[in-house]
Structure 1
Amino acid sequence: MIKLVNVNMNFRGKQTLRDINLTVKQGEIMVIIGPSGSGKSTLLRLIIGLLKPTSGEVWVSDREITRMTEDELNKVRLEMGMVFQYSALFDSMSVGENVAFGLRQHTDMPEEEILRTVRRKLRMVGLRGQENAMPNELSGGMKKRVSLARAIAINPHLVLYDEPTAGLDPIMSNTIDRLIVSTRRMIDATSVVVTHDMSSAFRIADRIAMIYDGSIIEIGTPDTIKQSENPIVAKFIRGASALPESKGRAKI
């Protein structure tokens, strides 16, 4: 589903990503971990085509996207859904209008079918009957679920999650984790999840890749990562207070 080949990213003369090689299999939940500023969110932006690498290739569904025009990229993006760290809901729109936004913008689906789809997706995330609620009436966990419903409204092949459990209590974090796993099953989607939350990572991941100082330093199953002999990985997953200093690469 996704393949990054020798990807490098420079920003303002400094290297943000270095020699990234990563393959995400069809139907897999790949979790990207690493300290703040290590390049995790930059990887998501490369996959969705919001950034172009300085060098290297980014493949999505057997298509190399780095040389695509914006119109070509938009067609690829119709097969993707994105769940943003802070939900990114339109405050002036109701829950139902937020979920329907992409369907109305990018499809010719009849309005009755759009409304049925909105109801169905809200049921999937446990928000039955919330179509008319406004974002300012929702808790943080509910906003995350609306964001997920919007992301999967078009039944994407690929769903990208940027810190989906950030700011949530442990109970709601567990709920979001279950939704990520059940969404993969219900719409047969491949998932890439960026997170600092190691409990969440170990619950949902098929594989975990750790990025540090712009490079992927280890990749493997949750059990492999838990047993890693790499001291940086071991310190990170155990919440050690100090990791080795980075080499000053730029943050994006």
Structure 2
Amino acid sequence: MIKLVNVNMNFQGKQILKDINLTIEQGEIMVIIGPSGSGKSTLLRLIIGLLRPTSGEIWVNGREITRMTEDELNQVRLEMGMVFQYSALFDSMSVGENVAFGLRQHTALPEEEIWRTVRRKLRMVGLRGQENAMPNELSGGMKKRVSLARAIAINPHIVLYDEPTAGLDPIMSNTIDRLIVSTRRMIDATSVVVTHDMSSAFHIASRIAMIFEGCIIETGTPEMIKESDNPIMAKFIRGGSAFPEGKGRSRV
């Protein structure tokens, strides 16, 4: 579903991503981990076409997107939903209007059908009957769920998550994890999740890829990652405060 080939990204003279090669299969949950500033969120923005790489190819559902026009990219984005780190809800709109936003922008559905879809998606994320609530009335976890409902309103083939459990307590983090897994099942979506939360990563991932200093240093199933002998991976999993010298042994 998604393939990155020799992707490099430079910004203001600094190399953010270096020779990224990654294949994400249809229907899997790929979790991207790594320290702050390692390039995780940049990778998401490249996949959705908000940034263009300095070099390399990015394939989404069989189409190479790096040389597309903005209109062509907009067509590809109709197959994607994104859950932002801080929810990014429209404060002046109700919960229902937030979820309906993409449907109004990108479909010709009648209002009755739009609101049926809004109610259905809110039920999916555990927010039945919250259509008229305003964002400032919601907890952080509820805002994340509204953001997810908005992202899946048009039944995308791909859902991208940027730090979906950031700032949430453990109980709500577990709720969001369960929603990510159930959403993949209910709409048959391919999911890419950026997180620094290893508990969440191990719970939801089909596979995990770690970025360190702009490079993917290891990719594998949660079981493979737990057993990794890469010192950087081991340090990150244990939550150490510093990384060992060098990048360790790469196994991609």
Tell me the amino acid that sits aligned with residue 84 of structure 2: F
Query: Whose relative contact order is higher, 1 or 2, with alpha carbons under 8 Å and at least 6 apart?
Result: 1
1:231 to 1:61, Cα distance in 2 relative to 1, 3 A? same
For 1:84-233, list aligned pairs within 5 A: 84-233=84-233
Residues 141-173 of structure 1: CA deviation (Å, up to 9, x unaligned): 000000000000000000000000000000000
Contact 2:231 2:244 in 1 (8 A): no
For these two proteins, the number of residue pairs brought into alignment is 247
- SS of 1:147's equivalent? helix
Inter-partner Cα distance in structure 2 for 1:121 and 1:177: 17
For 1:42-61, list aligned pairs within 5 A: 42-61=42-61
Inter-partner Cα distance in structure 2 for 1:23 and 1:33: 16
Contact 1:213 1:246 in 2 (8 A): no
For 1:70-81, list aligned pairs within 5 A: 70-81=70-81
Partner of 1:34: 34
Inter-partner Cα distance in structure 1 for 2:217 and 2:179: 29
Residues 223-249 of structure 1: CA deviation (Å, up to 9, x unaligned): 1000100000000011011114789xx
Contact 1:30 1:192 in 2 (8 A): yes
Residues 33-61 of structure 1: CA deviation (Å, up to 9, x unaligned): 00000000000000000010000000000
- TM-score, structure 1 length as denominator? 0.97
- SS of 1:217's equivalent? strand
Deviation at 1:13, TM superposition (A): 1.3
1:133 to 1:70, Cα distance in 2 relative to 1, 3 A? same
Runs of 4+ deviating beyond 2 Å: 244-247
Inter-partner Cα distance in structure 1 for 2:37 and 2:8: 15
Report percent identity of matched pairs.
Answer: 89
Inter-partner Cα distance in structure 2 for 1:35 and 1:141: 23
- SS of 1:16's equivalent? strand
RMSD: 1.0
Inter-partner Cα distance in structure 2 for 1:131 and 1:241: 43
Uncovered stretches (5+) of structure 2, i.e. residues with no partner: 248-252
Tell me the amino acid that sits aligned with residue 78 of structure 2: L
Inter-partner Cα distance in structure 1 for 2:246 and 2:45: 22
Deviation at 1:211, TM superposition (A): 0.2
Tell me the amino acid that sits aligned with residue 157 of structure 1: H
Inter-partner Cα distance in structure 2 for 1:10 and 1:169: 35
Partner of 1:234: 234
Tell me the amino acid that sits aligned with residue 81 of structure 1: G
Residues 81-122 of structure 1: CA deviation (Å, up to 9, x unaligned): 000000000000000000000000111011100000000000
Partner of 2:19: 19
